[in-house]
Chain A
Amino acid sequence: AQTVTQSQPEMSVQEAETVTLSCTYDTSENNYYLFWYKQPPSRQMILVIRQEAYKQQNATENRFSVNFQKAAKSFSLKISDSQLGDTAMYFCAFMFRRGNTPLVFGKGTRLSVIA
């Protein structure tokens, strides 16, 4: 079975600084997607960024970027210029690139942005 590991249960960062959240995964397949989701306190889970495993280029969405190392099975999230609104639980997730397959989530990292 596929597993996703987030080794940092909690992190904190000063406003305007940069922080990196770690994620590693385990799979024997070649065709998959990786995601980072954000769950703000008492609010809905939303997608932050996605990466297709067959693309070498790292995905970027505004202040959010990933460092995807396929051989190392590593998928870290970098948040630049951290804002108070970035305070949330962040979940790394894996999904096969075929229909009828659910996401497999890591246990999450609680990020606090401090003013």
Chain B
Amino acid sequence: DVKVTQSSRYLVKRTGEKVFLECVQDMDHENMFWYRQDPGLGLRLIYFSYDVKMKEKGDIPEGYSVSREKKERFSLILESASTNQTSMYLCASSWLVTSAKETQYFGPGTRLLVL
């Protein structure tokens, strides 16, 4: 079974803190994604990566950065957390070549509260 794990299920941080959210997948997937999920807004893509050290901006990259130093690990960084970044963060991974059998596999999510 594909496993995508996220470092924390719940996180409470203060405004201005630097926050690291870690995601690890065990299926040798090339693609990894970070989404933000808010009620009424669905899932919005923050960043994705299709290879080590590669990254692409999604729909809402402002206030975030990412790091992919190893294939299995994709980190989301909030350089200076703000209250409007309080949200659920979902990590996902998939193979590079899109095929009929494949899809994105999701982690359990990290619920972040910024006070």
Name A's B-contacting residues (CB within 8 A): 6, 9, 33, 35, 43-47, 50, 52, 91, 95-108
Contact = CB atoms under 8 A, between A and B. Distances in A.
Contacts of A33: 98, 100
A43 B31 CA distance: 22
Task: Give the secondary structure class of A's interface.
Answer: loop
Contacts, number: 53
Nearest to A95: B98
Contacts of B109: 44
Interface of B: 31, 33, 35, 40-45, 48, 50, 56, 58, 90, 92, 96-98, 100, 103-104, 106-109
A31 to B, nearest CB: 10
Contacts of A9: 40
Contacts of A101: 98
